[in-house]
Each structure stands twice: as structure tokens, then as C-alpha cells.
Amino acid sequence: MITRTIEEHLREAATLYPVVTVTGPRQSGKTTTCRRVFDDHAYVSVEAPDHRRFATDDPRGFLAQFDGGVILDEVQHTPELLSYIQQRVDDDPTPGRFVLTGSQHFALSDQIAQSLAGRTAVLHLLPPSREELLRFDDAPETLWETLFAGAYPRILDRGIPPRRWLADYVATYVERDVRQLLRVSELGTFTSFVRLAAGRTSAELNLSDLGADVGVSHNTAKAWLSVLETSFLIFRAPALHANFRKRWVKAPKIHFIDSGLVCYLLGIESAAQLVTHPLRGAVFESWVASEIFKARVHRGLEARISHVRLTRGLEVDVVVEAGPRLIAVEAKSGATTNGSFFKHLAAFTEQMQAQPGVTEIIRRVVYGGDETQTRSAGELISWAAIQNVDW
């Protein structure tokens, strides 16, 4: 299994806090990464019924087993255990004693806020970035193979055909997590909702339209989308908060974190089919946004990703707020460069010059070609070099 960018930050966090919490989607590599980084810790998965029962029925006895450090895997199944961990770390605040992992961030967030505030670092491990994927022996070589395969580690580590593995992943996710968390009676309706959401990746979110298309209420669509977000399948990029001189659209965009999952949900059966698919540009834009998202999150930074669209044409796909700097990014799936690629970035720069607190605007275009260039209008970045850029 490959090393992950987050490992350095996990080790650092374990020198500062008595508890380190790692959340992320199922099968993103949390268990493997934590067991490698903290190889001197005991390991227990509380997803196993016998361990879960012990932890629930006798939490003090369960924790007393571990004199040294311990990794408690899938701890969202026993959220009440966090109060007892709080007592132990208050008595002995030695850094790095407890490493917690969980696949459902929202199932942990309330308990962490109540029990472990100030006692734990919280880091997120997503499917590998392109930088990390290149560490696999058989990493995809072309853009379309990369997008079609996606980034879940098991697909590449074990050579499983992407559509086969992703079909099982979706079925497992729906059956296990959604039924447990939402008590959804019509799983087929929820699955249709997820597929329709995939068709809106990189698009502005309209919950009423999305709900109407699948036949559920606005509130139900809102709740279901929140599950996708807090299960780390999607993230929202809000509209950039700024005082533009012209009217701007305030709706957020949604991006699926894994391009392979989007391809599966859209019914795309091969990399060749993706090349000519009408949503290839949307899939590419979400891939670019996700790579930037991963680059920041895996370094322990806030994502701070937004977008801009004015009602009269100006649009910027991704804006990264990096302190006083803004990084404005356009995603173009075509392999041939075009001078118009930078048009919206120039207009955005002009609009933002009057904004207080902005010291620098970096303009970048990530495209489907092979050359990376620095131009007077901004940086032109090959998709294959996105991992070499400081986001």
C-alpha cells in the first residue's frame, strides 16, 4: 500500500494532542494509514459486534485493556465511548494515546464537540490525490483513464475493474450507511437521487429542482444531500463572498470527490466513452476541484474553495482563499490551448481589485493538454502536473 501525504501531519498531531481523530469515506485508506503510522498502538475495530458490545456495555473495562496507545477503528458505532475517553485523557493527557477513525463525520461531530473539544486533532483522509496515485505501480497514464478509474485505493492496489468495485461500493454504501442513518424505506429512490446528483456535479445546486426530479420534497433532498456531504462523497463550493459591483449568483456548486464514482453513477462504461460524453467537462471540472480540495485537506488545511458567477457572464470555476491571496482557477478539458481560456480570470481580477484584504490574485488554467507554461495572462497547467502546484 502506498504512503499518504497526511502521514506527516498525523505524526505531528500525535505529538500535540492526546487524541487524534481521522475521518473520511469508507475505503479511503484510514485503517491502513493509521496502522502504519501508529504501528506501536494496539488496534480494535468497534465495528465488530463483540468489540462494540464490550465497549457499549462496559466502556471503562474496555478502555482499561489499553495501557499504551490504541487505534479505535470505526468509532462512530460507539459515540458514547468518547465521554469515557475524555475522562482518561483528562487524567493522563499524554499526546497520541488514542487514535480514532470514523467513516461518518456527522455521527462523530456532536460527540467530539461535547466530549473532546480541545483534546483532539481532527484530520480528513480522502481517496488519494494524483500525487499519491502515481505511487501505485499500475497508475493510469492518460487523463481519461485517470478520471474513469477514480482514486479509491483498492481499485489500483488489487487491480479490480473500476465499474465492478464501484458497483459493490455503491450497493454497500446504500445498504449499510443510508439505511442505518436515514431510515430510508425506498432505497431505489435514494439511489436515483444519488445518480441525479452525479449528473449535477460541478453545477450550481438547486435543491427544489433536484428533489422534484426524483419525486421527494425540498427538505428530503436537503437531508439526503447532507448525508452525501458528511459521508465525504461530495463537497459544496459556496459562492465567493465579495462585494462585486454587479449581481452575482449565490448558489453553491456541488462536486463529487471521486471522478470514478461519478462515471459509474452516470453509466459511463469506459474511458473511451468518457472522452465523448456530454458531461466530460463537468467531470473534469469536479476532478480539478477535488484535486485542489485533497491537496489542502491532506495537509491539514481548511479547503476554503468557492466559485464565482455573475449574472452577466463572468464565471470562475474554482477560487481558493489562501490567506490574503486568491487563487482563481479555470478547468478546461480540451487538450488544445486557447487564448480565451484566461478571459474570465482577467475579468475576475479587475472585479476583485477593489476588494479589501486581497493582496494577490493568482490566475491558473488547468487543462487536458500536456504542456505547462507561465504566460503573462496567468499559469497554464497540464492536468498531469496538477500535483506539482502549491494550492
Question: pLDDT higher for 250 or 99?
Answer: 99
pLDDT in tens, 156-215: 999 999 999 999 999 888 777 776 667 666 778 888 999 999 999 999 999 999 999 999
d(CA 357, CA 222): 34
Contact partners, residue 195, CB within 8 Å, separation at least 6:
265, 266
Is residue 365 classed as helix, strand or coil in its secondary structure? Answer: strand
What is the rounded (10 degree) CA torsion for 123, 127, 132, 134?
A: 180
Give CATH 3.40.50.300 domain extents, the chain: 7-124
Which residue type occupies 338? Answer: N
Tell me, what's the pLDDT at 197? 97
Tell me, what's the pLDDT at 310? 83
The closest of 76, 89, 9 to 46, measured between CA atoms, is 76
Q: Count of residues for the chain?
A: 391
Q: Are 15 and 96 in contact (CB under 8 A)?
A: yes
Mean pLDDT, the chain, whole residue set = 92
* 220 HSE (CA, 13 A, CB side): 17
Query: In 243-255, which positions are buried (b, 16+ CB within 10 angstroms) versus exposed (e)?
Result: ebeeebeeeebbb
Q: pTM score > 0.85 for this model?
A: yes
3-state percent breakdown (helix, strand, coil) of the chain, nearest 5: 45, 20, 35
pLDDT in tens, 328-364: 999 999 999 988 999 999 999 988 877 777 789 999 9
CATH number of 7-124: 3.40.50.300
Asked if the model's pLDDT at residue 323 lies above 90, the reply is no
The phi, psi pair for 109, rounded to 5°, reads -60, -45
d(CA 381, CA 373): 7
